[in-house]
Amino acid sequence: MKYFTTTSKASNRAADCVFVGVYNRSKLGHGAADIDSASNGAIRDLIKSGDISTELGRCTVLTNVDGVKARRVAVAGLGKPSALDAIGFRKAVGACTKALRDTKTKQILNALTLESVKSCSPYYLARHSVEAISDVLYEFNQMKSGRKKPPMPLSSIGHSVASRGDAAQTDRGAQHGDAIANGVALAKDLGNLPSNVCTPSYLARTAKKLATGNGKLTTQVLNESDMKRLGMGSLLSVTAGATEPAKFIIMKYKNAGSAKPYVLVGKGVTFDTGGISLKPGASMDEMKFDMCGAASVIGTMAALTRMQLPINVTVVVPAVENMPSGTATKPGDIVKSMSGQTIEVLNTDAEGRLILCDALTYSKRFKPEAIIDVATLTGACVIALGHHRCAIYANNDKLQEQLFEAGNSSEDLGWPMPMGDQYAAQLKSNFADMANIGGPGGGSVTAACFLGKFTDGMNWAHLDIAGVAWKSGAQKGATGRPVALLYEYLLSNAGALP
């Protein structure tokens, strides 16, 4: 995809389509005002007649507008002028793109970037624009037979700027948006693939492929015998009932000399039946999404290597299947983790924490600046926060705040959650050092407290993404979250924000 910036008036650019916006009470956005002037009031007339809606999220596509060089004008409703924020901006850009999906549009000029959007610099407007367009145009049809309908052949996206002084920021925003969009698309693809294709071995091959030809990125894959030798008894207890072999993936990106790395750990349960604690049959197909934590950290690695950020990052992915069989771990079994701590497995469906705890212990060897694990860990998180925000836990207030702010800036939202001894006490076991569940109350919190027992001496955070990693229903599919949040966090710590 090619990106450009321009100070040209919206009416003067010979693009396939130009995006402009209109507000309530017939207030015209900057691009719409220019189009209206060039066309002798066409926009205002269509608003008055009801043919153009000013409601946020609505879009009307006009063709062959007098006085306008673009073939099409996509007019987005922007709602109240004083209320337009980044979410609304992305919604408007997405509505314009959706309205063009079935056209042969190759070049877009987005004049919505001229609007005043709360807390958004030209950098973020361009970045949000590229991400929103890419999200709408994403398709997953790899598994469908027959002739596939070709997508809109978009090849370039332009962003209008008020002055040339905004061009550098805007260009940078578009480039970062492109990197994030590519990382999100990879994470979506991995999540959407069925579990008979996207196995632990498939994740390992994907990670190795990313490192091919990239001198700053290396990938290492450990097998089950390596894990046994390392003492990863907790992780291996999850894969005990599966015939598909587990993989332990380590990706190292070095582009900041001897600086301490930031470590991202992603839960990679490529299918979760619940094991002996079998899940209900309804919607069990969605348990192919239980590796979306792994998908998101691999997608983040793809994004940061694309931009060659000046930072050291290590990605760790414990990848397994959780299956019931005669060799599967049973409720009441006690396993020994790599840390030496013993765990009473009261519920084999609380398996994510069992693989993550060994991954966290392994990651200590990297002496990380910070370590962040990402996991579709608990249904309790969905009850607490719904499908809008991921949960942010941390043993360090500053790290928790940094991740919260990264979510706000990237519009990949999270919410700080509590931890504490009173919650950790729910994990007491009569027979082992701890149990793997803490009862029905505060399930997301006690899961985080469990992981916290393996992070002594580390600057650690845990993102529970169970509510945001995929959508159900008619729009079923992986979301690619929280790639944007993680990228924003790394971008800030790399000193690469404009």
Options 44, 208, 254, 279, the catalytic residue: 279
The residue to which tokens 């907790």 are assigned: 234
Active-site choice (353, 389, 453, 481): 353
Collect all residues with Cβ–Cβ distance below 8 Å to 41 and sequence separation of at least 6.
none
Is residue 70 left, alpha or beta, with left meaning phi > 0 and alpha meaning psi from -120 to 50?
beta
Cα separations in angstroms, 433 against 137, 183, 187, 436:
50, 39, 36, 10
Strand order in the sheet with 342-345: 333-336, 342-345, 434-435
Q: Are 235 and 335 in contact (CB under 8 A)?
A: no
What are the backbone angles phi and psi of residue 114, rounded to the nearest 5°?
A: -85, -10
DSSP β-ladder status, 262-266 and 370-375: parallel
Whole-angstrom Cα distance, residue 283 to residue 476? 11
The partner residues of 253 in beta bridges, in order of sequence, read 217, 313
Instruction: Give the position of tokens 């079994």.
Output: 333
Q: Are 259 and 312 in contact (CB under 8 A)?
A: yes
Is the four-CA dihedral 86, 88, 92, 98 of positive or negative sign?
positive
Measured CA to CA, the distance from residue 11 to residue 37 in angstroms comes to: 9
Dihedral, 462, 464, 470, 471 alpha carbons, nearest 10? -150
Among this protein's residues, is 353 annotated catalytic? yes
CA 322 to CA 242: how far, in whole Å?
A: 6
Q: Tell me the catalytic residues.
A: 279, 353
